[in-house]
Amino acid sequence: MRAAPTILHLDMDAFYASAEQASKPSLRGRPVVVGGLGMRGVVATASYEARRFGVHSAMPMAQARRMAPNAAYLVPRFSLYRTVSEQVMELLGRLSPLVEPLSLDEAFVDLEAGGVADDSMTARLVGEQLRTVIRGVTGLSASVGLAGSKMLAKIASEEAKPDGLLLIEPGTERELLAPMSVRTLPGVGPATGDHLRRAGMTVVRDLAEAGEAELVRLLGKAHGVALHRMALGYDDRPVVAERDAKSVSVEDTFDVDLHDRVRVRTEVERLADRCVHRLRGAGRSGRTVVLKVRRYDFSTLTRSETLRGPTDDPTVVREAAARLLETVDTTGGVRLLGVGVTGLADFTQEDLFAQAADARQAAEAQVAARAQQTAADEPASGTTPVPDEPPAGAEETAHGHAAPTAARHWQAGHDVRHDVHGHGWVQGSGVGRVTVRFEEPGMPPGRVRTFRIDDPELHPADPLPLVRDPVDYSSWPASLPKSLSGPVPPEGAESSP
């Protein structure tokens, strides 16, 4: 535990939804929900306006629509989110060599290791400056927590939301935590929280007063000891710049339950290929293949098989996943499938399965691979296309535009460009028509027009920068005036609530 609050936790406010509001002037101040729009889609992020209606992350999209029927429902644009995330992480990297990203929109920073803060005053100053710079560069707001440990810094940033900063002075941790719900502590989910509630423990003070022995009796040694330490505000985990991934996995949720066993196997093999693609992209191999199956009744089963050595061979992972599928009863229907690889390594060994395969098996594997590639090129019925891929049915012309086809699919929220009207975004589509609002970040709300879905003048487009004329912070943090107020953000760069 540190004597100064030099661990910073940054969390962008309602990141996906705020990025959409900044990108689309007509949505500022309105409830916005981002996520899968299919029958079984879930909410990825809800704007603060939507949260007032009770909408929150991980909620079924159908339930969100009932609670906030007038909200704007958009498909994620991960290419935009990654671009903004890279801008934010680059700014954090200027503060310290020890930056630990947790996701696209949050990270820990060790300010002491970067030499930019060594006490409460300098830590607060850096935190305020950071929020100002992020707003100037991205147009979005962020919340900052500062404390002597990672756990408390994260709790502080959550308490500071939205668009705020909270510093927890070392020595005040226990007093601050005491009245908070036990669910505030890491590792206390719904099941553990309910178990503690039945034991008469609802706030952190109860855990601290109960003592380590009682928590061990209730939760077991490892969880009980850890929870008691956290209740006392103790956390000595360091900020780790390189987080070593423990697994690589992919999964798909289907709008309609899969009953055909052949189709289920085909989807598992397709997921195995995607998993290996990610594995190779990370320069890793893995020894254990994991299959995840969520059935029609929401019961979730996992099966795993450990190979004789690490591999990144798609045939090996595909065959292992298929073997695992044979051990699962899918009679009633399957709503979700996932394939993962754990036990990661930085090398591969000659796979024993591949060595033992004869010429006939090799030929069959090549045929299967070609078939899977063909299937991957055509969106499967009942699945949601990957947001970063071109709309289904859009064929690229020599000029880079999508050729008009009857199968063209326009996803709500995605960017388009019209040869006459310029840049816009899809408000909705159906019955052979697509409605587009033409507007750009930093401009007044634009006009709405409707076109045929195969209009030759309408093309998919890349997202525009959220800030048209970003402030130049190339010399930050050395040159930024040491004032808590900071420079004024550029016009049009204000963030959404």
Report the distance separating Cα 116 and Cα 8, nearest Å. 12
Among 12, 10, 26, 11, residue whose Cα is nearest residue 139: 12
- Count of H helices and E strands in the chain? 16, 19
The token pair that represents 130 in the structure block: 């950071």
492 touches 442 (CB < 8 A): yes
Which amino acid does the sequence have at 337? L
3-class DSSP assignment, residue 45: strand
SS (H, E, C) 420-434: CCEEEEEEEEECCEE
Residue 404 has phi, psi (to 5 degrees) of -70, 125
Report the distance separating Cα 288 and Cα 300, nearest Å. 19
The token pair that represents 143 in the structure block: 């919340």
The strand pairing partners of 337, in sequence order, are 252, 293
Q: Among the options 106, 112, 212, 269, which is catalytic?
A: 106
The alpha carbon of residue 394 and the mean position of all alpha carbons in its chain are separated, in whole angstroms, by: 27
Is 440 among the catalytic positions? no
Strand (E) or helix (H) holding 371: helix 359-377
349-358: long-range contacts, CB 8 A cutoff, minimum separation 24: 349/308, 349/309, 349/310, 349/311, 350/309, 351/307, 351/309, 351/311, 351/313, 351/316, 352/308, 352/309, 353/307, 353/315, 353/316, 353/319, 354/313, 354/315, 354/316
What DSSP line would sit under 286-336, residue for residue? EEEEEEEEEETTS-EEEEEEEEEEEE--HHHHHHHHHHHHTTS--TT-EEE
214 touches 228 (CB < 8 A): no
312 touches 270 (CB < 8 A): no
- For the annotated catalytic residues, the residue numbers are 106
